[in-house]
Amino acid sequence: MPLNSSQTGAAIRALDSFAIELPSWGFANTGTRFGKFIQLSAATTTAEKIADAAAVHRFTGCCPSVAVHVLWDFPGGVKDVPAVMETARKEGVRIGAINPNVFQDQCYKYGSFGNPDPEVRKAALQHILDSVGIQKAAGSRDLSLWFADGISYPGSGSIRARRQWFIDGLKTVHAALSGDQRMLVEYKPFEPAFYATDIADWGMSYIYSKHAGPRAKVLVDTGHHYQAQNIEQIVAWLLAEDMLGGFHFNDRRYADDDLTLGCIDPYQVFRIFHEICYFEWETGKRADIAYMVDQSHNLKNKIEETIQTANNAQELFVKAAIVDHARLRDEQMKCNLVDAEECLREAFFADVRPVIAEWRKSKGLPVDPLDAFRQSGYTARAEKDRAERNRGAAASYA
């Protein structure tokens, strides 16, 4: 059944407002803990990562910014910012969230903010403060914080001491923010720490953020949850508390699998988006959320998978936007369980592809972004230009 005029209007408004940030690291060669699998067309420099992200934006029209990793994209620190920003400007995108890296260097073997060694905690803090400097120089709003900290064996660390060290560190980072800058605190239940992760769930992130200050919000990675966890309930609670700062989009079959958004459970993604749209309808205000992708494109072509994610996100967001919220609330208040559920299901199973196609035409975008990308020859050109460098990288991993 085609959408009615009200649904069509809601769909267009949703498409006009919805923007997704892409990760620079998603376009470079990545792998698992067992090794890397090289793609000859993968980006080998920050400029190439930005170019690839910009290609996704040109074909989808919904990915105008690129999240960056400090150690990987700014090896020279803040002095690299003007060149990176100029590259982004030329490619028609902008620099988005700044991601510090306090998990890669050898000094972080036993943690960063949670490390018993005060010198290591000091080094981690300085790196993040330097990242705030990059954030300011790049005009970026969000500082995205993920920590690998935790303990893997009972008794091998003080849980309460580590909690306090984190509070102290996050407060100091918060004090360095200015203007409209925010810090988003991500959580993850396990890996690489398997006994007690220092920020293991949304409640810990919430408490840390509250201790840090009003610019701190929770970042929800859709893969960072146990199998049975109700992510949309977490989202609803954080919205009610004005503590939802952003998302890292991916999907998972087991845990943090970093798969294409919606490839495993599109209904869950829809339900998450529905809670956001329902909140906005009830309150009459737009939720201030950063929508970001964080996926590990190890096997699929990196740009094609990112286009898939953008397409899936648009489609599922539109489905959530066309839910009849007034009818839903009425059915909920009457405890009409079947009718309330059917209200959601009708929107989820609606074919929104025609209205998305019309929206794309109106914006001068290809109706089928994935096919248009394939027809463009971008991958072949990238492979020709980058193959030698990627083969060299492959040899170094052998």
Average pLDDT, the chain: 96
Say if 270 falls within a structural domain: yes
Mean pLDDT, rounded, for 176-201:
96
Better-scored residue on pLDDT, 36 or 54:
54
Q: What is the largest CA-CA distance in the chain?
A: 65
Write the CB contacts of 134 (distance below 8 Å, at least 6 apart in sequence).
Answer: 70, 74, 77, 78, 81, 98, 140
Token pair for 344: 């959601």
Residue type, 87: T
pLDDT at 36: 82
Per-residue pLDDT of 223-264, as tens digits, reads 999 999 999 999 999 999 999 999 999 999 998 889 999 999
pLDDT at 393: 74
Token pair for 135: 């954030």
63: left (phi over 0), alpha (psi -120 to 50) or beta: beta
- The DSSP bridge partners found for residue 28 are 43
pLDDT at 398: 54
Which SS3 state, helix, strand or coil, does residue 334 take? Answer: coil
Say if 322 falls within a structural domain: yes
CB 234, CB 202: distance < 8 Å: yes
What's 100's domain CATH number? 3.20.20.150
Give this prediction's pTM: 0.96
Per-residue pLDDT of 93-120, as tens digits, reads 999 999 999 999 999 999 999 999 999 9
Say if 173 falls within a structural domain: yes
Helix (H) or strand (E) holding 244: strand 244-249
pLDDT at 255: 86
Answer yes or no: is pLDDT of 148 > 80: yes
Confidence of residue 1 (pLDDT cuts 50, 70, 90): confident
Say if 38 falls within a structural domain: yes
Answer yes or no: is pLDDT of 394 > 80: no
Structural domain count, the chain: 1
Say if 169 falls within a structural domain: yes
Cis peptide before 192 (omega within 30 of 0): yes
Say if 164 falls within a structural domain: yes
Q: Which domain holds residue 184?
A: 8-393
C-alpha to C-alpha distances, 61 to 74, 310, 352, 356, nearest whole angstrom: 27, 9, 17, 11
Say if 3 falls within a structural domain: no
Per-residue pLDDT of 343-382, as tens digits, reads 999 999 999 999 999 999 999 999 999 999 999 999 999 9
Which SS3 state, helix, strand or coil, does residue 242 take? Answer: coil
Confidence of residue 179 (pLDDT cuts 50, 70, 90): very high
Mean pLDDT, rounded, for 273-294:
98
Better-scored residue on pLDDT, 298 or 106:
106
Helix (H) or strand (E) holding 69: strand 65-69
Say if 2 falls within a structural domain: no
Answer yes or no: is pLDDT of 397 > 60: no
